[in-house]
Structure 1
Amino acid sequence: MGARERSSAGDPVRTLELLWREPGQAGSARGPKQRTTVDAVVAAAIEIADGEGLNALTMRSVAAKLGVTPMATYTYVPGKAELLDLMLDSVYQRMSRRELTGMPWREKVSVIAAENRELLERHSWVAYLPTTRPALGPGVTAKYDHELQAFDGLGLTDLEMDAALTYLLGFVTSVARIAIDSARAAADSGESDGEWWQRAAPLLERVLSADRYPLAVRVGAAAGQAHDSAYSANHAYDFGLARTLDGFAALIESRSG
Structure 2
Amino acid sequence: MTTAQRGRPGPRRTLTAEAIVDAALRLLDRRGAEAVSVRGIAAELGVAPNALYTYFPDKSAVLRAVVDRLVGEYDPAALADPARPWRDRLHGLALSLRARLLAHPGAAGLLLGAPMDGPRALALGEALLELLAGAGLDERDAARASYLLIVYVLGAIALEAAELDPALPVPPEADRVAARRAALDAVPEETYPRTAAAARTVSRYITTEQFRWGLDRVLDGLAVKG
**Shared fold by TM > 0.5?**
yes
Q: Structure 2 unaligned runs (5+)?
A: 1-8, 169-177
Q: Does 1:237 align with 2:211?
A: yes
Change (3 A) 1:73 1:134: same
TM-score of the superposed pair, with normalisation by structure 1 = 0.67
Per-residue CA deviations over 1:79-112 (Å, capped at 9, x if unaligned) read 1122122222223343344253211222222223
Equivalent position of 2:172 in the other structure: none
Aligned length in residues = 204
Paired residue secondary structure (2:142): helix
Equivalent of residue 89 in structure 1, options 64, 68, 93: 68
Instruction: Name which of 160, 176, 186 aligns with 1:179.
Output: 160
Q: Matches of 1:92 and 1:249 in 2, distance apart?
A: 25
Query: Deviating runs (4+, > 6 A) in structure 1?
Result: none
Give the counterpart letter for 1:142 in structure 2. A
The CA deviation at 1:250 is 0.8
Greater alpha carbon shift after TM alignment, 155-164 vs 108-117: 108-117
Q: Specify the alignment match of 1:154 in structure 2.
A: 135
Cα distance in 2 for residues equivalent to 1:238 and 1:155: 22
Percent of aligned positions that are identical? 27
Shift of 1:131: 6.8
1:249 aligns with 2:223: yes
Which residue of the partner structure matches residue 117 of structure 2? 135
d(CA) in 1 for partners of 2:112 and 2:161? 16
C-alpha distance in structure 2 between counterparts of 1:221 and 1:108, whole Å: 37
Q: Does 1:113 align with 2:94?
A: yes
The 1:194–1:93 alpha-carbon spacing in structure 2 relative to 1, beyond 3 Å, is closer
Per the alignment, residue 3 of structure 2 pairs with none
Structure 1 spans left out of the alignment, 5+ residues: 1-29, 209-215
Maintained 8 Å contact 2:108/2:158: no
Instruction: Verify: 1:79 aligned to 2:58, yes or no.
Output: yes
Match of 2:6 in 1: none
What is the TM-score of this pair, normalised by structure 2? 0.75
Partners of 1:130 and 1:220 in 2: CA distance: 27
Alpha-carbon spacing, 1:61–1:193, altered in 2? closer, same or farther (3 Å): same
